[in-house]
Structure 1
Amino acid sequence: MKFRRRAGNVAREEVFLNLTSMIDVIFVLLLFFVVTTTFSRPTQLKIDLPEAASGEPNEAQANPLELSIDETGQYAVNGKVLVKNDLESLTNVLQQESNGDTSMPLIISADAKTTHQSVVTAMDAAGKLGFSHLRMTTVESSAGK
């Protein structure tokens, strides 16, 4: 669109654009984003397991079931190494070794460098079978002596 200029000394009208409503909307959006934004800092934990400064020594119970996990995640039940390291194999071996008696204590001895997933898988297998007496073996820390 082309406007013609008028000849003469006619004062030009200034065009005024009301920006108040647009500024209000922008401030509301800014406030919304500030309130709903969450800032998270990734944290790194240095954990040296398994050590415990307190605890009670294991009282002697007849024939506890012992589950050992080495640092590579290899399982052994009562000294017998499992061929497969999956949940199903571990569940079957625990069922056979306990003869269906889930009231006996299950002692889980995991290496300090084993993956957390290996320990959780062992606890999951025990939970599926109904074991209620789980123990985690630790060594007493030198600070606790």
Structure 2
Amino acid sequence: MKFRRASRVEEIHINLTPMIDCLLFILVFLLLSTTFYQQSRINLTLPDAQGVPPKQYDHKIEVMVDSGGHYSVNGQALASQDTADLSTAVKQAADGRRDLMFVIAADAKATHQDVVRVMDVAGQLGFVNINISTKAPTRGYE
């Protein structure tokens, strides 16, 4: 007599949890290690100083910025680097005139913030003729 054996057929289950974990790990790793390139919103072409002869003005306000961020207005050094002191000194030098030539002469090692602070003071006081002083290129070797 032949007995039939009971066949045990188990359903096959594929566990997707480890695969999903690995894919999420790879996704997070790629997002953290990727650098995003953001194009500039304004394309600037900065001018070169070609040694244009300086114009002579009878009256001008010249603000100098040294490499340490110290200001001087028309040759007189300011005691502090505060914006209020700079504004007061420029007002005294302008003597109420806003049509004077406003020249910013900054050291090559001066920070951008210090120069922008001078431009901001000039704009708040209403100056419209603002120039940035450049150095004419030297010829030969030094």
Same fold (TM over 0.5): yes
> What's the offset of the Cα at 1:57?
2.5
Counterpart in 1 of 2:105? 109
Q: Is there any run of 5+ residues in structure 1 with no aligned partner, and where?
A: 1-7, 42-50
The alignment status of 1:99 with 2:82, answered yes or no, reads no
Alignment partners' CA distance in 1, 2:34 and 2:102: 42
Alignment partners' CA distance in 2, 1:108 and 1:17: 76
Counterpart in 2 of 1:69? 65
Q: Which of the pair has the greater relative contact order for Cα pairs under 8 Å at 6+ separation?
A: 1
RMSD: 3.5
> What's the offset of the Cα at 1:18?
7.0
Counterpart residue type for residue 82 of structure 1: L
The alignment status of 1:84 with 2:86, answered yes or no, reads no
Residue of 113, 119, 139 corresponding to 1:123: 119
Counterpart residue type for residue 39 of structure 1: T
Counterpart residue type for residue 118 of structure 1: D
Q: Is the 8 A contact 2:51 2:137 kept in 1?
A: no
Counterpart in 1 of 2:40? none
Alignment partners' CA distance in 1, 2:96 and 2:103: 16
TM-score by length of 1: 0.67
> What's the offset of the Cα at 1:64?
0.7
Query: Could you say what secondary structure the match of 1:139 adopts?
Result: coil
TM-score by length of 2: 0.68
Q: Is the 8 A contact 1:52 1:140 kept in 2?
A: no
Alignment partners' CA distance in 2, 1:136 and 1:78: 15
Aligned residues: 124
Alignment partners' CA distance in 1, 2:51 and 2:124: 27
> What's the offset of the Cα at 1:11?
2.1
Alignment partners' CA distance in 1, 2:71 and 2:81: 6
Residue of 10, 14, 32 corresponding to 2:10: 14
Query: Could you say what secondary structure the match of 2:64 adopts?
Result: strand
